[in-house]
Amino acid sequence: MGDVWPPLTSMGHIWPPLTSVGHIWPPLTTGVPLGRFESLDQEMNSVMGRVLDVNHVVQQLLDGGHPSSEEVRSCQDHLNGRWNRVVELVEQKKTQLSSILKIQNYLLECGEMKAQVWEKRKAIEATQSGGGDLGGVLALQRRLSTMEAALVVLEPRLLELQRQGEALAAAHPGRALEVLLPFEQISEEWEALTRALQGCEDSLSIAGRLQRFIQDLDTFLGWLVKTQAAVASEEVPETLADAERLLSHHAALKEEINGYEEDYAKIQAASELLALEETEVPSLSLQQWLQKLDAGWGKLLQSWETRREVLVQAHVFQLFLRDVQQCESSLDNQEAALLRAELPATLEGATSALRKHQDFTTTMELNLQKVQLVLQAGESLRRQGNRYGDRAAEAAERLRDKWNVAIFGATGRTGLVTLAQALEQGYAVTVLDAVIITLGTRDDLGPTTVMSEGTQNIVAAMKTHGVHRVVVCLSAFLLWDLQRVPPRLLPVTQDHLRMQRLLQDSGLHCVYVMPPHIAGSSGALDLDLPLGPTRLVP
C-alpha cells in the first residue's frame, strides 16, 4: 500500500492557496471592487476539485482497510476542516465587501440625486427671475412642464434610495449616520425644489390670471370703442320711419351695454385681486388700465344718454311734422272742396247743398281742433328748447298760413266781433293779405291794354308762387253804365273792365277797390278811428 502515500504526503501543496486567502483582506477595508473575487472563485473551484479527489482516495483507503486508517481519517478531517473554514471565510468576506460596495454605490447615487435636484431647483429659480412679460411666462410654462415630467422619474428613485438607506443603516448601525445624512441632504434639496415648483405654479397662476385679465380687458376695450362709435353716430333722421328705426337701434345698444355690465364688474373684481397680489403689469399699471376703463365706460353711458335725447327730440319733431302734414292735407282738401262748390239751381239741390255744408262745417270744426293741438305742440317744442324748435315754428307758421282768414271790414262793428271770435278759435287773421294792383296810365287817356296785360302777368306770377288773394284798384266808372262814361275816359275804363273780367276768370280771391277820387299827401300816418256809424278816411 506504499503506493498511496505519495498522494497523501503530497497534499500539502494545496495549503498555499488555502492560506493565501488572507491576501484579500485589505480590499475589504479599502473598497477594492468585488471583481477581485472572480479569480479567487476560479482557484477555489480548482482546489475544491482536488479536495474532492483527496476525499475519494481517502475513502478508498478506508474501504480497503489501510493499516493507517486512523491517520488517514485524521488527515482527511483536518483537510476538510481547513477547507470549510476557508470557504466560510471567503463567503463572509464576500458578504462584507458586498455590503461596503452597496453603501458606496448608495452614497454615489445619493450624490448624483442631490446634484440633479439642485440643478433642477436652480433652473426653476432662474426661470422665475426671467421677468413677468409674455416671453418669461411662456418660458416658465415650458420649464414647469419639463420639470413635472422629470419629477415623475425622480420620485420613485428617491423612494428607493430612502428604502435602501434605511436598510443599510439597520444592517450597519455603526455607519448609520454616514448612510442617512446624504439622504437628509437630498430631502432638504427636494423640499427646496418643491417650494420652488410651488412658487413657479403660484407665479404661473398669477400670470395666467393676469393674462386672462389682459385678454378680457382687451376684448372689453375693443367692444367699448366699437360701441362708442356706434353710440356717437351723427345720423339725423329725415323721416318718422328713420327716427323710429334709429330709436330702436339705440335701445338695442342699451340692451347690449347692460349685457356687458357684468363683464365690466368682473374685470373690476379681477383687477382688485391682481392689485392685492402686487402683480407687475407690462407698460401700464393696473391703476392706469382701470382709469382708461372707467373713463371709457363713463363716456359710453354719457354718450348714450346724449344720443338718446337727440333721437327723442328728433322723433317728437317728426311726429309733429306728420301731424302738420295731415292737417295741411285736410285743409287743402277743404279748400279744394270749396272751390269746386257750385250754387244749386233747384230747391232740392239747395237742401242737399245745405246739408253738405253743415257736414263740411262739422268736419272743419274737428279739423280746427286738430290744428289747434298741433300748433300747441309746436309751441311746446319751442318752449322746451327742442333742437328742432325753429323748424317746428316754421312748420307751424306754414300751417297757420293754411288757416289764414282775411276779414274785410275788420275795423267795423261787425268786423271787430268777427275778428275776436276768429282769434279765439285759433285762426291766423290778417286784415289784408293780398297782392295790390294799382296799375295806371298817368295822363295818357288814349286806347290802351297796358293795365290788362300787366294784370295778366301778375295773375300768372301769383299762381306760380301760390298767392291766392289780390286787391285791385279799378275805375269807379265800372259801377256806372258805360254809356254814361265821359268819352275821353272810355278807353281807360274799358281796359279796367278787361282787368276785372280777367281777375274774375282767374279763380283768385279778388277785392275790387273803385274810389271815385284819390287825394291827400303821400307818406305814412297813424289813424285813430273811433267807433261810430261811419268811417271817414281823410
Nearest to 319 by CA among 374, 367, 369, 368: 374
Residues of the chain scoring pLDDT < 70 = 1-39, 127-141, 143-144, 273-286, 338-339, 341-343, 402-434, 518-538
**Cβ contact 407:418 at 8 Å:** yes
Task: List all residues 6 or more positions away from 315 whose beta carbon is below 8 Å from its beta carbon.
Answer: 237, 240, 243, 244, 247
CA distance linking residue 90 with residue 84, whole number of Å? 10
Indicate the DSSP class of residue 532: S
**Cβ contact 450:426 at 8 Å:** no
pLDDT score, position 434? 55
Task: List all residues 6 or more positions away from 479 whose beta carbon is below 8 Å from its beta carbon.
Answer: 514
Q: Which three cell numbers stand for residue 486?
A: 265821359
Amino acid letter at 392? A
Indicate the DSSP class of residue 403: T
Backbone phi, then psi, for 469, in 5-degree steps? -115, 140
Nearest to 152 by CA among 144, 162, 140, 163: 144
Q: How many CB atoms lie within 10 A of CB 374?
A: 23
pLDDT score, position 384? 84
Which H or E element spans position 428? strand 428-430
Count Cα neighbours of 138 within 13 Å in the Cβ-side half-sphere: 3
Task: List all residues 6 or more positions away from 251 whose beta carbon is below 8 Å from its beta carbon.
Answer: none
**Cβ contact 260:303 at 8 Å:** no
Strand-pairing partners, residue 473, are 513
Q: Which three cell numbers stand for residue 144?
A: 414647469
Domains and CATH numbers, the chain: 1-181 (1.20.58.60), 209-319 (1.20.58.60), 322-404 (1.20.58.60), 434-513 (3.40.50.720)
CA distance linking residue 3 with residue 5, whole number of Å? 6
Strand-pairing partners, residue 406, are 430
3-state class of 510 per DSSP? strand
Nearest to 54 by CA among 86, 78, 23: 78
**Cβ contact 174:102 at 8 Å:** no
Q: Which three cell numbers stand for residue 207?
A: 400670470
pLDDT score, position 219? 86
Scanning 341-412, the segments in alpha helix (DSSP H) are 347-383, 389-402
Q: How far is CA 269 from the centre of its chain?
A: 17
**Cβ contact 206:137 at 8 Å:** no
pLDDT score, position 23? 45
Amino acid letter at 295? A
3-state class of 430 per DSSP? strand
pLDDT score, position 274? 63
**How many residues belong to the chain?**
538
Which H or E element spans position 513? strand 509-513
Cell 286806347 locates to 447
Angle between helices 69-128 and 176-231 (to 10 degrees): 30
What strand order describes the sheet that includes 509-513? Answer: 435-437, 469-473, 509-513
Strand-pairing partners, residue 510, are 470
